[in-house]
């Protein structure tokens, strides 16, 4: 079955530590996205990539980094510069851009301990 | 900057009732509008996508309408069931590849 796989489902980060969230898709989609969701709020865009080896900052990119070395993979690193990283992180993809139906992964919970 | 608002934030109804969820947006220059369902701790699933040139879309017991000029969309759920309990989010996209989400309406359908 085609879809988006995020891992791990739950992740704990210590102060000053970088952590990386994995996102893999087998939908052959060009565009991939990372969103952050806080309780009672809508999704906010962190980074997006419309093609391999290229990515753009979203609304809340500070403290995060990404790479897009392969079409199917778009990992997100939450760096120690992100002061409030506790949230639910969602990876998504579309065939080409936001005009297409968007597909989401199951999400990853990140908690600072 | 586009702002998307969903009211109410939470809604509880008895099983079998028809209900309407509301979504409003501030900029009518949209490309499309989508309605999503999110179960607790899960990702979003697209329910309906309405292009800016369309007035409504239907899928089973769900019907979504779009009034661009007034900046509003509604999601109508007929004959609600306990399995419909979830958070419903709307999102609007513009021609610049930007998608904005509302905070969602948390629906509880009581047996």
Residue numbers in B near A104 (CB within 8 A): 43-45
Chain B from 80 to 99: CB within 8 A of any A CB:
89, 91, 93-94, 97-99
d(C-alpha B80, C-alpha B61), whole Å: 8
Q: Does residue A100 register a pLDDT over 70?
A: yes
pLDDT of residue A96: 82
d(C-alpha B87, C-alpha A85), whole Å: 23
Q: Counting one residue from A and one from B, how many pairs have CB atoms under 8 Å apart?
A: 54
- Using CB atoms, pick whichever of B43, B93, B100 lies closest to residue A99: B93
A92 φ/ψ sector (left φ>0, alpha ψ -120 to 50, else beta): beta
Q: Does residue A2 register a pLDDT over 80?
A: no
Per-residue pLDDT of A47-68, as tens digits, reads 999 999 999 999 999 999 999 9
By C-alpha distance, which of B56, B69, B16, B42 is closest to A37? B42
Per-residue pLDDT of B52-86, as tens digits, reads 999 999 999 999 999 999 999 999 999 999 999 99
């Amino acid at each position: 079955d085609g879809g988006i796989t995020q891992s791990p489902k739950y992740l704990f980060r210590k102060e000053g530590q970088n952590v990386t969230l994995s996102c893999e898709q087998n939908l052959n989609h060009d565009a991939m996205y990372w969103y952050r969701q806080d309780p009672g709020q809508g999704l906010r865009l962190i980074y997006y990539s419309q093609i391999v080896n290229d990515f753009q900052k979203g609304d809340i990119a500070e403290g995060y980094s990404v790479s897009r070395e392969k079409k199917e993979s778009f990992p997100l690193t939450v760096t120690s510069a992100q002061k409030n990283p506790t949230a639910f992180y969602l990876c998504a993809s579309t065939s080409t851009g936001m005009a297409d139906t968007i597909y989401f992964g199951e999400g990853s919970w990140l908690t600072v301990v | 900057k586009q702002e998307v608002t969903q009211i109410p934030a939470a809604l509880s109804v008895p099983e079998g009732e028809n209900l309407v969820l509301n979504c409003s947006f501030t900029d009518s220059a949209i490309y499309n509008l989508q309605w999503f369902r999110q179960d607790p701790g899960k990702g979003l699933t697209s329910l309906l996508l309405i292009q800016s040139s369309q007035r409504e879309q239907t899928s089973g017991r769900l019907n979504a309408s779009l009034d661009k000029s007034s900046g509003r969309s509604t999601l109508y759920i007929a004959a609600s069931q306990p399995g419909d309990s979830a958070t419903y989010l709307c999102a609007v996209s513009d021609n610049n590849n930007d998608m904005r989400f509302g905070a969602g309406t948390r629906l509880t359908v009581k047996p």
